[in-house]
Chains A and B, each alone.
Chain A
Amino acid sequence: MDKTINQKAWFLVLPVFLVVAFSAVLPLMTVVNYSMQDTFGNNQFFWNGVGWFKELLDPSTDLGGRFLASLGRNLFFSAVILAIEVPLGIVVALSMPREGWSVAACLVILALPLLIPWNVVGTIWQIFGRPDIGLLGYVLNHLGFNYNYVANDVDAWVTVIVMDVWHWTSLVALLCYAGLKSIPDAYYQAAQIDGASRWAVFKAIQLPKMNRVLLIAVLLRFMDSFMIYTEPFVVTGGGPGNSTTFVSIELVKIALGQFDLGKAAALSLAYNLIILIVCWVFYTVMTNAGSERPVKEGAA
C-alpha cells in the first residue's frame, strides 16, 4: 500500500536468503542430479534420463504403483482430517470461556498437544490404543469391539485419524479463537438490536471474520497432513501391510531404507511439485482475499 520502493532492502533480506538457500537450494540440486541417474552401490552412477519419472507415473511399475497408491491414501487422509478438524476447531473456538482464569487454562491445555514431540505423540497413542495396556484399547475391547490397530486396516486408519484430530484440532481452534477475538463488540450489539439469531450472527459476523485465519489453518493442516511421517510411523509403521503408508513413509523407505537414490529423488521432486502447486494456489487466494476484503465490507 504505502510501502516505499527501496532496493537496499535486499541487504536486510540477504541473511535470510543465504540461510534458506543454503538449506534448500543446494540439497534440491542434489535431488535433481540423482533423479536422472541410477546407482548399483559403490558410488557408481549411470545416466537414466527421465526414466524414473516415466516409471513414477505408470501404475504398472513397482515405483509408480507405490507412489500413486501412497499418494491416494495421503490425499484421502488429508481430506478426512480436514473435514473433521476444521468444523470441530470452529466449534471449540466458539466454546471458549469469555473471561477469567479459565481462558488461560483452556489455552494452555489446548496448546499442549502441539508442543509434544511427534514421536511422543505416536508413542502416546501407541500405548493408549493397545488392547492389553492402553485405556482406549482395553475399554473398546471390553465393550465388545474387536479393536486392534496392529492387525486390522480399519482400526489402524481410525487410530491414525483420531490421533491427528487429537494432535492438531487445537491449532485450528486457536487460530479461529484469534479471529473471533478481533471482532469488536459493536458488531454483536448491532446484531442484537437487529434481533439476529445465533446462526445469523455466526454466518454474517463470525465466519467472515474468521475467513483469513481459516485459510491459514486449512493451508497449514493440509500441508502438514500431506507430509505426515513420524506419528503414523511410530504407531503403525505404515501397516498393517501398506494400509497406512503415506507418501513420506514410502519416500523414506526408498531413500534411507533401500538407498535407491534415483527413485527416491524422482519421487521427491514429484512430491515437492505437488506441494509447491497447492501452496501457490493458497497463496494467491490468500493475497486476493486480503485485497478484496475492504471492498466487500464497504458493499455490505
Chain B
Amino acid sequence: MHSIPGRRLIMGLFLIFLLLPIYWLVNMSFKTNAEIISTMTLWPHAPTLQHYRRIFTDESWYSGYINSLEYVVINTVISIAVALPAAYAFSRYRFLGDKHLFFWLLSNRMAPAAVYALPFFNLYSAIGLFDTPWAVALAHCIFNVPLAVWILEGFVSGVPREIDETAFLDGYSFPRFFIKILVPLIASGIGVAAFFCFMFSWVELLLARTLTSVAAKPISAVMTRTVSAAGMDWGLLAAAGVLTIIPGALVIWFVRNYIARGFALGRV
C-alpha cells in the first residue's frame, strides 16, 4: 500500500538520472586525455590507470585527501562530544532560555558560509590557527554542532525517562550513567549524527578553501587550483573527483539501515 502505480519505472528512471553523470565521471577517469578530447566513447576503449597513478604518487595530490580527512574527523569528534550532553539537556530539562538557545543554534546551521568566510579568515589568522586542520574543523562546527544537537535530541527523546530514573536509583553517578547506559542506548543515533557531520564537513568547500593555503590544503581546493594551472587535464580531474566520492560511498554503506530515520533527524 506504500507505493504508487508505475513505481518500478519511476524509481528506475530516477536512479538512472542519478547514476548517469557519476558514470560519466568514472568513465572519463579511465580514459586517456587524447581519447576524451578526440572521440565520444560510451566506455573507455583504451582503459588506463595513469590518472589514478599520478594522484597516488604525487604528494600535492594525495596529501589533499589526507588533509581533508584530518579536519573532517576532528570536526566530527568535536561536534559529537559537545553535542551529546547538550542534546540530553534539551531533551530532559527546561531551563532559562532553552527555546531561544535552540533557535539560535538552529539559525547558525542556516547561516551562509559566504558571510563567515572573511571574518573567519581574520579570526583564525589572529589566533595562529590559519592553514591548520583545526581552523577548518572549528569553522565547520558552526553548522555541524547545531545539526548534531538537533539529531541527537531526537534520539535521546526516544529513550524513556524511566531508564534515567532507574539508573540514578541504582546509584549511578551522572557521568557514569551517561557513558555506561545512555550512550550505548543511542549508539545508532550517534552513528547517524556522525554520518551527517562527516557529510557536511566533507562536502564543504568555501570555508575549507578560505582557511587554508599550503600546509592544510583540502582536496577540493587542490582540484580547483591545479585545474586552472594545468589547463584542464580532464582525465586527472575526473579521477580526483571519483576518489572524493569513495569515502562518502563507504560511509553510506555502513549506515544504510539507519539512513531513512537519520535523514528525518530522528524525529518521525
Contacts and interface: CB of A to CB of B under 8 A. Distances in A.
Contacts of B113: 227, 229, 248
A275 B107 CA distance: 8
A106 B12 CA distance: 9
B60 interface: no
Main DSSP-derived SS at the B contact region = helix
Contact of A133 (B1, B36, B220, B248): B36
Contact of B1 (A113, A125, A192): A192
Interface string A1-41: 01111111110110111011011101110110000000000
Contacts of B267: 212
Contact of B260 (A31, A174, A227, A234): A174
A283 B93 contact: no
B1 A106 contact: no
Interface in B104-155: 105-108, 110-120, 122-123, 138-139, 141-142, 145-146, 149
A7 B138 CA distance: 28
Contacts of B248: 112, 114-116
A272 B111 contact: yes
> For chain A, what secondary structure do more than half of its interface residues adopt (helix, strand, loop), or is it mixed?
helix
Given A16-B105, A27-B119, A96 B256 contact: no
B34 to A, nearest CB: 12
A112 to B, nearest CB: 6
A178 B96 contact: no
Given A24-B142, A175-B264, A179-B268, A119 B111 contact: no
Contact of B18 (A3, A109, A191, A279): A109
Q: Which 5 A-B pairs have the closest CB atoms?
A: A115-B248, A27-B119, A227-B112, A178-B264, A12-B89
Interface of A: 2-10, 12-13, 15-17, 19-20, 22-24, 26-28, 30-31, 88, 91-92, 94-98, 104, 106-120, 123-125, 127-128, 132-136, 138, 166, 169-171, 174-175, 177-182, 185, 188, 191-192, 198, 201, 212-213, 216, 223, 226-227, 229-230, 234, 247-249, 251-252, 255-256, 261, 264, 268, 271-272, 275-276, 279-280, 283
Interface of B: 1-8, 10-11, 14-15, 17-22, 24-25, 28, 36-37, 40, 42, 78, 81-83, 85-86, 88-90, 92-96, 98, 101, 103, 105-108, 110-120, 122-123, 138-139, 141-142, 145-146, 149, 161, 199, 202-206, 210, 219-220, 223-224, 234, 237-238, 241, 244-245, 247-249, 251-253, 256-257, 259-261, 263-265, 267-268
29 contacts: A7-B96, A13-B86, A13-B90, A15-B81, A16-B145, A20-B105, A23-B120, A23-B141, A27-B122, A28-B119, A30-B119, A94-B2, A96-B2, A98-B3, A115-B199, A115-B248, A118-B203, A120-B245, A127-B24, A128-B24, A136-B21, A178-B261, A213-B264, A216-B264, A227-B113, A230-B206, A248-B114, A271-B115, A283-B106
